[in-house]
């Protein structure tokens, strides 16, 4: 990709990964980008690098603007390898005066690359570095989503370079938010938040409060993945405020697996009961839907309902995987319910119920367990469970 001037003397020099399809168990079915930025001033600063396989493209983009040997500072906002794995090779080419990072960033760089002789310059929140006409200010954002994470802010341009916050895993030929369909853009942004930042939601709120407190005026947000927020930085900040508070709407997500369609029939009956209560319903068969896509729908759902038959005295493997993944993302302010079918034992419902307890998701009773094929009466009970969940949503939302 050719470099793009996103503001005067500030260039995107990243790489587009059209083919990546998995990111730590999160499906990236439309690829991603590894964004990096070059600031040309009296001192030349390179903010972030890219995943190592894309180093050639990255260096070619830089060379179209400046001789890499003239770069003075390399700013490392985040050490995760998709942003730093080519850093040792880049340092050989560039030979920078400084590698600017947070204290935790230095620790992470040492633990990744074992190079104590590098020219580290540790910065703290609120600290400035002058580039000449432009000034970089730094804001530590620990655990959003690694301990080393920080933001870089170009004060004169009101440009926030936000590392892994406000991003999307989406490979496009466009670079800016106003060049793509907005509903698709925010769908990718929601999926990114739900699968990466959800566990740190309390920190998101604190960060946004800190940004308001110190009075950062933001005209553009440039994340390390996806589109740059040129026209709608306020909208993505507003979305993060909502997602960070884990606000939920009158919506239920039903997640199930099935062996001989008994649990599927139960799931559909639960959905019918919810629909009678005018609750928005999303129904997901785990054989056909990936956990990371389901998480996107869970982000703003009030109720999470799980159904599984019993297999070998346990849940279906897909359900065990879904609940394990969900537990790690730590959703808050949810209610739940469980149901399932069995042949001769019936442990799945008990195990799903225990998983909800561990996640502190308040369960709506009853826990419905059906042997073999549900009768018409059994399906009425499932429908009634859906109504009860709908009533619980009405009380909670």
199, 329 Cβ separation under 8 angstroms:
yes
| Cα distance between residue 350 and residue 314, in whole Å | 9
Q: Which residues pair with 255 in a beta bridge?
A: 284, 306
The verdict on whether 82 is a catalytic residue reads yes
**Active site residue: 17, 41, 80, 381, which one?**
80
Residue with tokens 């042997």: 371
**Active site residue: 83, 145, 188, 232, which one?**
145
Q: What is the DSSP letter of 228?
A: B
17 token code pair: 């990964």
The verdict on whether 157 is a catalytic residue reads no
The verdict on whether 225 is a catalytic residue reads yes
The verdict on whether 83 is a catalytic residue reads no
265, 374 Cβ separation under 8 angstroms:
yes
**Active site residue: 11, 192, 193, 342, which one?**
192
The verdict on whether 224 is a catalytic residue reads no
| Cα distance between residue 158 and residue 153, in whole Å | 7
The verdict on whether 24 is a catalytic residue reads yes
Q: For strand 159-161 and strand 220-222, is the pairing parallel, antiparallel, or unpaired?
A: parallel
**Active site residue: 11, 78, 153, 188, which one?**
78
**Active site residue: 24, 117, 217, 377, which one?**
24
**Active site residue: 164, 177, 264, 381, which one?**
164
Q: Which residues of 304-338 are buried (b: 16+ CB within 10 A; e: fewer)?
A: bbbbbbbbeeebbebbbebbebbeebebeebbbbb
Specify the 3-state DSSP secondary structure of 343: coil
| Cα distance between residue 397 and residue 377, in whole Å | 30
Find, among 17, 5, 176, the residue nearest to 83 by Cα: 17
329 token code pair: 């993302």
| Cα distance between residue 2 and residue 94, in whole Å | 20
**Active site residue: 48, 82, 140, 381, which one?**
82
| Cα distance between residue 229 and residue 15, in whole Å | 17
Number of helices (H), then strands (E), belonging to the chain: the values are 12, 22
**Active site residue: 153, 225, 232, 381, which one?**
225
| Cα distance between residue 86 and residue 79, in whole Å | 11
The verdict on whether 42 is a catalytic residue reads no
The verdict on whether 362 is a catalytic residue reads no
Q: Give me the active site residues, please.
A: 24, 78, 80, 82, 145, 164, 192, 225
């Amino acid at each position: 990709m050719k470099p793009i001037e996103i503001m005067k003397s500030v260039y995107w020099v990243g790489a587009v990964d059209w083919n990546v399809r998995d990111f730590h168990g999160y499906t990236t079915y439309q690829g991603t980008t590894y964004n990096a930025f070059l600031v040309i001033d009296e001192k030349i600063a390179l903010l972030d690098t890219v995943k190592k396989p894309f180093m050639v493209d990255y260096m070619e983009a830089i060379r179209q603007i400046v001789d890499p040997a003239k770069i003075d500072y390399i700013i490392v906002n985040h050490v995760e390898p998709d942003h730093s794995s080519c850093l040792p090779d880049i340092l050989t080419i560039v030979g920078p005066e400084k590698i600017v990072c947070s204290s935790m960033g230095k620790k992470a760089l040492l633990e990744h690359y074992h190079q104590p002789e590098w020219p580290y310059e540790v910065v703290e929140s609120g600290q400035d570095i002058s580039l000449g006409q432009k000034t970089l200010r730094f804001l530590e954002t620990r655990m959003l989503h690694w301990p080393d994470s920080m933001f870089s802010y170009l004060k004169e341009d009101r440009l926030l370079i936000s590392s892994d916050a406000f991003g999307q895993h989406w490979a496009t030929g466009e670079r800016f938010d106003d060049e793509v369909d907005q509903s698709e853009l925010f769908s990718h942004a929601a999926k990114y938040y739900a699968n990466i930042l959800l566990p740190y939601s309390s920190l998101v709120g604190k960060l946004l409060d800190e940004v308001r407190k110190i009075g950062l005026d933001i005209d553009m947000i440039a994340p390390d993945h996806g589109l740059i927020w040129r026209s709608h930085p306020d909208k993505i900040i507003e979305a993060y405020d909502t997602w960070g508070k884990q606000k939920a709407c009158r919506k239920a997500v039903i997640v199930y697996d099935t062996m001989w369609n008994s649990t599927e029939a139960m799931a559909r009956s639960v959905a019918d009961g919810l629909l009678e209560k005018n609750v928005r319903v999303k129904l997901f068969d785990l054989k056909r839907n990936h956990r990371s896509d389901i998480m996107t729908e869970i982000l703003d759902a009030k109720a999470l309902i799980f159904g599984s038959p019993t297999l070998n005295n346990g849940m279906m493997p897909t359900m065990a995987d879904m609940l394990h993944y969900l537990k790690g993302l730590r959703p808050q302010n949810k209610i739940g319910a469980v149901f399932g079918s069995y042949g001769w034992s019936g442990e799945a419902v008990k195990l799903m119920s225990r998983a909800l307890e561990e996640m502190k998701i308040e369960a709506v009773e009853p826990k419905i367990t059906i042997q073999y094929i549900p009768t018409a009466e059994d399906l009425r009970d499932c429908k009634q469970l859906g109504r009860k969940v709908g009533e619980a949503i009405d009380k909670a939302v």
